[in-house]
Structure 1
Amino acid sequence: MLRWLIVLVAAVVAALSGVTAGYAAPPDVSDQDKAFLIGAHQDNLAEIQGGQLAERQAGKQSVKDAGRKFVEDHTSLDDQLKRVAEKLGVDLPGKPSEEQQAELRQFAAKSGTAFDRAWIDAQVTDHRKTLVSLDKEVSSGSSLEVKNLARDAKPVVQEHLNLVESIQSGE
Structure 2
Amino acid sequence: MKRSFLPLLATGLLTLASCGDNKSATAENGNASDNTMTSSATGGDTASTTMPAGSDKPENQPQNAGTAQGTAGNGAMTGAEAGALGDPNGPTAPHKDDKEFMMSAAHSDQNEIQQSKMALAKGVTGMAKDMANKMIADHSKSTADLKQIAAKKGVTLPTDMDAEHKALAPAMEKLSGKEFEQKYMAQMQADHQKTANTMMAHEKMTQDADLKAFITKTLPVVQQHLQMAQQNNNMKM
**TM surpasses 0.5:** yes
Give me the whole-angstrom Cα distance separating, in 2, the residues matched to 1:97 and 1:107.
15
Aligned residues: 142
**1:104 maps to which of 157, 169, 178:** 169
Identify the structure with bigger relative contact order (alpha carbons < 8 Å, sequence gap 6+). 1
Q: For residues 34-79 of structure 1, give each alpha carbon's deviation from its aligned partner in whole angstroms, at most 9, with x where no partner exists.
A: 0110000011011111111122225432101110100000000101
Find the counterpart in structure 2 of residue 27 from structure 1: none
Matched, 1:94 2:164: no
Question: Which residues in structure 2 correspond to 1:38-53 (within 5 Å)?
Answer: 38-53=103-118
Give me the whole-angstrom Cα distance separating, in 1, the residues matched to 2:135 and 2:143.
11
Aligned residues: percent identity?
26
Shift of 1:100: 1.5
Shift of 1:31: 5.6
Q: For residues 76-120 of structure 1, give each alpha carbon's deviation from its aligned partner in whole angstroms, at most 9, with x where no partner exists.
A: 010100111011111212322111211233222211111111111
Give me the whole-angstrom Cα distance separating, in 1, the residues matched to 2:114 and 2:133.
10
Unaligned runs of 5+ in 1: 1-29
Matched, 1:67 2:67: no
Q: Is the 8 A contact 1:124 1:161 kept in 2?
A: yes
Superposition TM-score, scaled by structure 2 size: 0.57
Residue type matched to 2:197 in 1?
Answer: V
Give me the whole-angstrom Cα distance separating, in 2, the residues matched to 1:153 and 1:33.
16
**1:80 maps to which of 135, 145, 153:** 145
Superposition TM-score, scaled by structure 1 size: 0.78
Give me the whole-angstrom Cα distance separating, in 2, the residues matched to 1:148 and 1:59.
34
**1:149 maps to which of 200, 214, 220:** 214
Q: Is the 8 A contact 1:56 1:64 kept in 2?
A: no
Give me the whole-angstrom Cα distance separating, in 2, the residues matched to 1:109 and 1:32.
37
Matched, 1:132 2:132: no
Matched, 1:117 2:190: no
Q: Is the 8 A contact 1:51 1:67 kept in 2?
A: yes
Matched, 1:37 2:91: no
Q: Is the 8 A contact 2:114 2:161 kept in 1?
A: no
